[in-house]
Structures are given as structure tokens and as C-alpha cells.
């Protein structure tokens, strides 16, 4: 196992009716900015619950944070923050709202000249406004990690700091019942691939991390399809298991002390930036290609994955790996996300664009060993045609 330091201070309030916990989490004298997206929280009752919880607080709101939040939208919050002396942020939404709010939190107290440097130059974040989150879409893990992804002018880039990790997060599975099938599928697949990015590398004998990861993968394989099936769609126990799996997938626990890949995400970000494809749908297209092209480097873990996650024990090593990849693709298809570029109407010509952009954004040494050059990324995308 590799050395690590692990701390996850986000306090989680999990379960039905927990939005009221917001009242006690945010200091009584705080001036709060509630941030949200395009309005789903107004039609599913989440907004009303937040308003009720904040009835004794002084608060304002900033809406319109779009999927794959853009710098141009987020920067507009700064005027409100100054005008009302905001000193606490409450993000209410999915990964985009929470990520966007992290940028707002860091930008508000940024000491440099241009807050975009936080992302573009990875400028150090020395302070940030405190924030909490009410999660409405289980997927990204953003509710209890310090990561964020922001888009500007066709560049979709990550930044992170422990200072933007939410101090608390409310996870009420009830609020996920209003999600469309598309967002349910996206969420399960995004969480699944977060686990794969931290699991499918090379072995360092991290038995705890491996078995946590395998348990989470199996939970998503078992529960994901049930959240799409008409007879089990409304089952809150299924939603609870998905919601907690997605948080655990990217709260730092399973990735501590093990190598991490993240090439699928970095290549996927280019697909979203250039063609507007939903985050999870880029990953389901790229990951099978990564599994195929990096088969030798990942051989030991691919075999472990085949046996422990899919119970594949027959056949020689290569046959077991092939079947594990096929089963992964079948699971993604069952969750109604694409597994090939052709399914989103992209061709070889688009691969050139994606490789050009990856290079432009400095994504030239990806993967757990830093070995994935733009040429290897091209091979991965060619496998996905
Ligand atoms: O904007 P509203 O109206 O709220 O609608 C949203 C949005 O249109 C809707 N939605 C959310 N909760 C709902 C709901 N609709 C009905 N009922 C509900 N309960 O869903 C749509 C998508 O929301 P979004 O927040 O964009 O989805 P997701 O949570 O998948 O977040 C994706 C973003 O997170 C980033 C991605 O790159 C992408 O920008 N990621 C962040 C990570 C992190 N911070 O650690 C890691 C991830 O890998 C990912 O990169
Ligand atoms: Zn993701």
C-alpha cells in the first residue's frame, strides 16, 4: 500500500427529511447565498424545504448554474456576494451546482488578479467561503470532496482544494425520485467509473481499498438497473444504496493509498467540452477503450475485477478479461448510456479534434503511470469508434 493521509471532514446527514439539518449546520448569524441550477428544485419540493430550513437565517439566492458549470455564469455571483456581505454558501443541486459553488467560494476570496487562474493555472487557494450542500443527484461525489470541474471557452478543467470541500452535505434519497431515467443512468455510471479510476490500475496490495471498491461496484451493478425498472423505480432503499455508493465512490476513502488513473475522465472532459455530451456518457464511451488498450498494464487488476466483481472464473486469462469488458459494456447499455462514439454520431475525424484539444490542455501524460500520451489516447478513442 502507498503512504497516505486521509481526512474527510464533511458531516453527512443521510435519509428522508434531513434537509431540515441545514438550519443547525449554518451559523445563525451567517449571511447565506443559496445556489442552484435550472429550477428542478422548485418543481420537486427541495427548494421549499430549504426555504423552511433557512427561515431564521438571512439569505439570498443565485440560480442558473448550468450542467458543466461555466466560468461566465459563476463569476456573476461575485457581485451578489459583495453586495450582501455573503459569508456562507449553500449549494442545492447535482454535481454541477456543487462544483460551481466551489469555484464561487474560492473566487470570492481569491487574492490574485484573475479568478480563472484558480483553474487555468492551478493558482493556490489560500482561503474560501465555507459551504454546505444539499445533494439532488447521486453521481459525482462532489458533496464530500474538494474537487470541481469548470468550463470556459471550450476548456473543461478540474481544480481542487480541501478549502472548498463542503462542511456538511444532506443526502435525502427521496429527492432523487424526480430524476429522469437519463440522469439516473448517468449518475450510476459516473459513480461506477469513479471507482474504476481508483481500482483498475496495478496492485499495491491495498486489500481494504480493493474490497471496498468491489463492494461498491457490485452494489451499483445490483441496484442501478432497479432504479430504471418501472416496478422498483420508486423504491427508496434502492435509491439510498445508490446515493451512498456514489458518495463513497469519491470521498477519498477508496483512493487513499492506491495508484489512481483518471485518464477516462480527462479524455471524457474533452468530449463534453467539444460536443456537449453529458459527463457520464463520455466516460461510458472511453472506459472500455482504456480497458482494451491498457490491458497489459492493468492485467492483474482486470483479472481480479473479472473474478470478484463479475464472478468470471472459466476460461484462460484473456478470455476472462474479454468477458469482463463485455459485461462492463453490457451494464452501461443496461443503464442506457452509450458505449461507442458512433452512438453519439462522432467519427474518426472527431478523434483528431479531441487529441488536438487534449494536447492543448496539457493532458499528455495520463494514467496511473503517466504513460498515456496523446498517441495512446488516440488508440483508446479509435477503440471506441
Ligand atoms: O439544473 P437543474 O434544474 O437542477 O437540473 C439538473 C440538471 O439539468 C438535473 N437534476 C439534478 N437533480 C435533479 C435534477 N432533475 C430532477 N430531479 C433532481 N433531483 O440534472 C441535470 C444534470 O445535473 P448536473 O449537476 O449537471 O449532473 P451531475 O451531478 O452528473 O454533475 C455533473 C458535473 O459534475 C462534474 C462533471 O464534470 C459535470 O460538470 N464532476 C465533478 C466531480 C467532482 N467534483 O468530484 C467528479 C466527476 O467526475 C465529475 O467530473
Ligand atoms: Zn465523473
CATH code (residue 150): 3.40.50.1970
If asked whether residues 244 and 325 sit together in one domain, one would say: yes
Question: Is residue 290 a part of any domain in this protein?
Answer: yes
If asked whether residues 235 and 372 sit together in one domain, one would say: yes
Question: Is residue 5 a part of any domain in this protein?
Answer: no
Question: Is residue 228 a part of any domain in this protein?
Answer: yes
If asked whether residues 128 and 149 sit together in one domain, one would say: yes
Question: Is residue 214 a part of any domain in this protein?
Answer: yes
Q: How far is CA 177 from the centre of its chain?
A: 19
> H helices then E strands: how many in the chain?
16, 8
- Report the C-alpha gap between 100 and 65 in whole angstroms: 7
> Rounded to the nearest whole angstrom, what is the distance from the C-alpha of residue 5 to the centroid of ligand 1?
29
If asked whether residues 210 and 169 sit together in one domain, one would say: no
If asked whether residues 170 and 296 sit together in one domain, one would say: no
Distances (CA, A) of 291 to 156, 262, 328: 24, 12, 10
| Grid cell locating 292 | 482494451
Given 174, 194, 222, the domain boundary residue is 174
Given 145, 174, 203, the domain boundary residue is 174
Question: Is residue 329 a part of any domain in this protein?
Answer: yes
pLDDT score for 131 = 98
The helix (H) or strand (E) run that includes residue 91 is strand 88-93
If asked whether residues 186 and 170 sit together in one domain, one would say: no
CB 338 within 8 A of CB 344: yes
| Grid cell locating 367 | 494514467
> Rounded to the nearest whole angstrom, what is the distance from the C-alpha of residue 247 to the centroid of ligand 1?
13
> Rounded to the nearest whole angstrom, what is the distance from the C-alpha of residue 384 to the centroid of ligand 1?
24
DSSP state of 65: P
Given 133, 158, 174, the domain boundary residue is 174
If asked whether residues 359 and 241 sit together in one domain, one would say: yes
Question: Is residue 89 a part of any domain in this protein?
Answer: yes
Give the closest ligand to the alpha carbon of residue 100: 1
If asked whether residues 199 and 314 sit together in one domain, one would say: yes
> Rounded to the nearest whole angstrom, what is the distance from the C-alpha of residue 93 to the centroid of ligand 1?
7
Is residue 176 lining ligand 1, measured as CB closer than 6 Å?
Answer: yes
Is residue 38 lining ligand 1, measured as CB closer than 6 Å?
Answer: yes
- Report the C-alpha gap between 6 and 346 in whole angstroms: 41
Q: Which residue has the cell 427541495?
A: 46
Question: Is residue 3 a part of any domain in this protein?
Answer: no
pLDDT score for 352 = 97
- The candidate with the shortest Cα–Cα distance to 188, out of 137, 130, 127, 260, is 137
List strands edge to edge, sheet with 88-93: 11-14, 168-171, 131-135, 88-93, 31-36, 58-62
CB 103 within 8 A of CB 118: yes
Bridge partners of 14, per DSSP, are 171
Question: Is residue 4 a part of any domain in this protein?
Answer: no
pLDDT score for 154 = 86
If asked whether residues 170 and 88 sit together in one domain, one would say: yes
Is residue 138 lining ligand 1, measured as CB closer than 6 Å?
Answer: no
CB 202 within 8 A of CB 368: yes
The domain that holds 210 is classified in CATH as 1.20.1090.10
Best mutation site among 94, 106, 157 for ligand 1 pocket (most ligand atoms within 8 Å of CB):
94
Cα angle: 327, vertex 330, 335; to 5 degrees:
130
The helix (H) or strand (E) run that includes residue 358 is helix 348-360
Domain holding 132, by residue range, is 11-174
What's the length of the chain?
A: 385
DSSP state of 335: T
Is residue 93 lining ligand 1, measured as CB closer than 6 Å?
Answer: yes
CB 134 within 8 A of CB 50: yes
If asked whether residues 187 and 127 sit together in one domain, one would say: no
> Beta-carbon neighbour count of residue 186 at 10 Å?
26
pTM value is: 0.97
Is residue 63 lining ligand 1, measured as CB closer than 6 Å?
Answer: no
What's the domain count of the chain?
2
- The candidate with the shortest Cα–Cα distance to 197, out of 318, 280, 319, is 280
If asked whether residues 167 and 185 sit together in one domain, one would say: no
> Beta-carbon neighbour count of residue 82 at 10 Å?
10
If asked whether residues 131 and 251 sit together in one domain, one would say: no
pLDDT along the chain (385 residues), means of 10: 97 98 98 97 97 98 97 98 98 98 98 96 97 98 98 93 98 98 98 98 98 98 98 98 98 98 97 96 98 98 98 98 98 98 98 97 97 98 98
Amino acid at each position: 500500500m502507498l503512504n497516505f493521509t486521509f481526512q474527510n471532514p464533511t458531516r453527512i446527514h443521510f435519509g428522508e427529511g434531513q434537509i431540515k439539518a441545514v438550519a443547525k449546520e449554518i451559523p445563525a448569524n451567517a449571511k447565506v447565498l443559496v445556489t442552484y441550477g435550472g429550477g428542478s428544485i422548485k418543481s420537486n419540493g427541495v427548494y421549499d424545504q430549504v426555504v423552511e430550513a433557512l427561515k431564521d437565517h438571512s439569505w439570498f439566492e443565485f440560480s442558473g448554474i448550468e450542467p458543466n458549470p461555466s466560468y461566465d455564469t459563476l463569476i456573476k455571483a461575485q457581485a451578489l456576494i459583495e453586495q450582501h456581505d455573503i459569508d456562507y454558501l449553500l449549494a442545492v443541486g447535482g454535481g454541477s451546482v456543487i462544483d460551481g459553488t466551489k469555484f464561487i467560494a474560492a473566487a470570492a476570496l481569491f487574492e490574485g488578479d484573475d479568478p480563472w487562474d484558480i483553474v487555468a493555472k492551478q493558482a493556490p487557494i489560500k482561503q474560501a467561503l465555507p459551504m454546505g450542500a444539499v445533494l439532488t443527484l447521486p453521481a459525482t461525489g462532489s458533496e464530500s470532496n474538494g474537487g470541481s470541474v469548470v468550463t470556459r471557452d471550450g476548456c473543461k478543467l478540474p481544480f481542487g482544494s480541501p478549502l472548498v470541500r463542503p462542511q456538511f452535505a444532506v443526502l435525502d434519497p427521496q429527492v432523487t425520485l424526480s430524476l429522469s431515467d437519463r440522469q439516473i443512468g448517468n449518475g450510476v455510471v459516473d459513480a461506477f467509473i469513479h471507482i474504476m479510476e481508483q481500482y483498475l490500475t496495478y496492485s499495491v496490495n491495498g486489500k481494504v481499498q480493493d474490497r471496498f471498491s468491489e463492494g461498491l461496484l457490485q452494489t451499483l451493478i445490483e441496484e442501478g438497473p432497479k432504479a430504471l425498472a418501472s416496478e422498483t423505480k420508486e423504491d427508496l432503499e434502492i435509491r439510498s444504496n445508490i446515493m451512498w455508493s456514489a458518495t463513497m465512490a469519491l470521498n477519498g476513502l477508496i483512493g487513499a493509498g492506491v495508484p489512481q488513473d483518471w485518464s477516462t475522465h480527462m479524455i471524457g472532459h474533452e468530449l463534453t467540452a467539444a460536443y456537449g455530451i453529458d459527463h457520464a456518457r463520455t466516460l461510458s464511451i472511453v472506459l472500455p477503450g482504456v480497458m482494451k488498450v491498457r490491458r497489459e498494464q492493468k492485467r492483474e487488476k482486470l483479472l481480479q475485477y473479472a473474478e470478484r466483481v463479475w464472478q468470471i472464473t472459466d476460461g484462460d486469462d484473456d478470455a476472462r478479461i474479454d468477458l469482463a469488458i463485455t459485461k462492463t459494456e453490457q451494464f452501461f447499455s443496461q443503464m442506457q448510456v452509450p458505449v461507442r462514439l458512433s452512438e453519439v454520431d462522432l467519427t474518426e475525424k472527431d478523434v483528431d479534434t479531441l487529441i488536438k484539444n487534449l494536447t492543448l490542455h496539457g493532458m499528455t501524460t495520463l494514467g496511473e503511470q503517466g504513460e498515456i500520451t496523446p498517441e495512446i489516447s488516440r488508440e483508446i478513442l479509435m477503440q471506441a469508434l
